[in-house]
């Protein structure tokens, strides 16, 4: 953890909660991406990202740097927020989520992105939940094995082996899926 981050956290511990905005700026995109690949739904990911940071702000006093990196603590909050969401999720679908015609986005681009996401989502669904989480954290979250170990409780060696085996499985089974995944990562 860098010194600046430690200083910000220390100031938050002293009651200067406005400093938390700097932590939000540093981690919002990463946490959103992590949650998005868990939910595959933009609005849900936005809501859960906000909820994650609200929980982190409310419990910032419970974070201690000697227990691990701030990023691992934040990802654990995000992971638990997603788990809580799925436990309490309603089965009804909001019609606005399906037919957002008032949006002025490029529909051709959205369709291509949506199609690529469906391929990625379909492929990821063939992985075990643990493999899916590790790949999401490593590939899309860009986290180190050390950080993933802090979040998941697994050893770094086990994580490296899992990623290696999963990527080998992707290469063996469907090089097109691998290309779609990495194309999506590069251009999103």
What's the CATH code of the domain at 142?
1.10.10.10
pLDDT of residue 139: 77
Whole-number Å distance between alpha carbons of 51 and 57: 10
Overall number of domains in the chain: 2
Domain of 67, CATH number, reads 1.10.1740.10
Question: What pTM, to 2 d.p., does this model score?
Answer: 0.66
Longest CA–CA span in the chain (Å) reads 53
87 lies in the same domain as 115? no
Whole-number Å distance between alpha carbons of 3 and 155: 26
pLDDT of residue 129: 83
pLDDT of residue 151: 87
Distances (CA, A) of 61 to 10, 12, 13: 9, 8, 6
Cα–chain center distance at 29: 9
pLDDT of residue 88: 87
Collapsed DSSP state (helix, strand, coil) of residue 153: coil
Structural domain harbouring 184: 105-188
Whole-number Å distance between alpha carbons of 34 and 138: 10
CA-nearest of 65, 48, 50, 82 to 12 is 65
97 lies in the same domain as 140? no
What is the block-wise mean pLDDT of the chain (188 residues), using blocks of 10 residues?
A: 89 93 94 88 93 96 92 93 87 46 46 62 78 82 87 90 80 59 49
CA neighbours within 13 Å on the CB side: how many for 55?
17
120 lies in the same domain as 94? no
> Which of 101, 116, 144 is the C-terminal boundary of a domain?
101
pLDDT of residue 131: 83
């Amino acid at each position: 953890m860098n010194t600046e981050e430690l200083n910000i956290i220390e100031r938050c511990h002293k009651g200067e909660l406005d400093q938390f905005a700097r932590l939000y700026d540093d981690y919002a995109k990463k946490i959103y991406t992590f949650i998005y690949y868990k939910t595959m739904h933009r609005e849900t990911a936005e809501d859960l990202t906000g909820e994650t940071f609200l929980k982190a702000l409310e419990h910032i006093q419970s974070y201690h740097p000697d227990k691990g990196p701030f990023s691992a603590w934040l990802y654990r909050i995000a992971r638990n927020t997603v788990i809580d969401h799925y436990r309490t999720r309603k089965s009804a679908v909001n019609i606005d989520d399906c037919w957002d015609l008032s949006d002025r986005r490029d529909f051709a681009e959205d369709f291509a992105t949506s199609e690529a996401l469906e391929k990625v989502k379909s492929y990821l669904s063939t992985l075990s939940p643990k493999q899916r989480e590790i790949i999401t954290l490593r590939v899309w979250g860009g986290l180190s094995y050390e950080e993933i170990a802090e979040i998941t409780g697994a050893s770094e060696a086990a994580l490296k082996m899992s990623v290696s085996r999963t990527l080998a499985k992707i290469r063996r089974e469907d090089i097109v899926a691998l290309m779609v995944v990495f194309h999506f990562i590069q251009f999103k």
